Amino acid sequence: MNSPEKPSADGVRLSKVLAERGLASRREADEWIEAGWVRVNGVPAVLGQRVLPDVRIDIDPLAHKQQAQRVTVLLHKPMGYVSGQAEDGYEPASVLFTAANRWKEDNAPTQFHPGHQRGLAPAGRLDIDSTGLLVLTQDGRIAKILIGEDSRVEKEYLVRVQPMNPATVEPGQPMLPPQQMALLQQGLALDGKPLRPARVSWANEDQLRFVLREGRKRQIRRMCELVGLKVTGLKRVRIGSVVLGKLPAGQWRYLRPEERF
């Protein structure tokens, strides 16, 4: 297997040669080189590489197609990963976006390419101790739909809870009195700002189903604390019309062409 050539002090910068040959802009050229789509004399190119004017340059035929196609990835985030940049020693969930972690039942027509990792950013967040559906996208339009100031896209969560003070719960009575449930649905404020109305109901005896149209920091956990509940598990199962379904924890799939949030 050929190894990448070291940048040479001789010759012209490869990205400039590509631009002069009309193959790509300088910026595109650097992106293609970084994505592994450019080979010089059969050897993978490296950023900053200099070449002689008559060098043979081969470009992956997928380059133009993949460059134009901005991918969106649906990831089942496990606990212990942060949504965005690495922090406090914890890895970002994006490190799970590898060929090996692609769900075997993903039937999207998109073929995995390392270039898809470039510019892939979370559209929304899940806390480090939460699991479920996380959207990673290269498409700014999708990011705006999901996290823009005017976004009204629903997010659905399954939330396991327990009383913060079990002694206050009478035997045979619900964990959450009707008036407290009503507060969860409409009537709470965080950081001095009222929350949008939420749909909250019991999924089973110790698990609530939340449907929100906003995403303040640690919102569900803080809402539950205000009504005397402690969250012991939180999983996002739907964003808009896109569901987590059977996607295993730690694996991902591409958003299919026919899917819309």
| pLDDT at site 2 | 52
Residue 5 neighbours by CB distance under 10 Å: 17
C-alpha span between 229 and 62 (Å, rounded): 52
Q: Which domains does the chain possess?
A: 12-67 (3.10.290.10), 69-152+240-256 (3.30.70.580), 154-239 (3.30.70.1560)
204 - beta bridge partners?
A: 207
Note if 30 is an active site residue.
no
Residue 220: band (very low, low, confident or very high) from pLDDT cuts 50, 70, 90: very high
Q: What is the pLDDT of residues 167-199, one digit of tens each?
A: 777 777 778 989 999 999 998 999 999 999 999
pLDDT in tens, 136-154: 998 877 888 898 878 899 9
- Average pLDDT estimate for 226-254: 97
Place of tokens 């075997």: 104
Q: Which residue among the candidates 60, 106, 127, 206 is catalytic per the annotation?
A: 127
Distance of alpha carbon 171 from alpha carbon 163, whole angstroms: 13
pLDDT, tens digit (0-9, with 9 covering 90-100), for 58-72: 999 877 665 557 789
Section 226-243 average pLDDT: 97
Buried/exposed code over 49-77 (b: 16+ C-beta within 10 A; e: otherwise): bbbeeeeebebbeebeebbeeebbbbbbb
- Cα–Cα distance between 256 and 188 in angstroms, integer? 37
The pLDDT of residue 96: 97
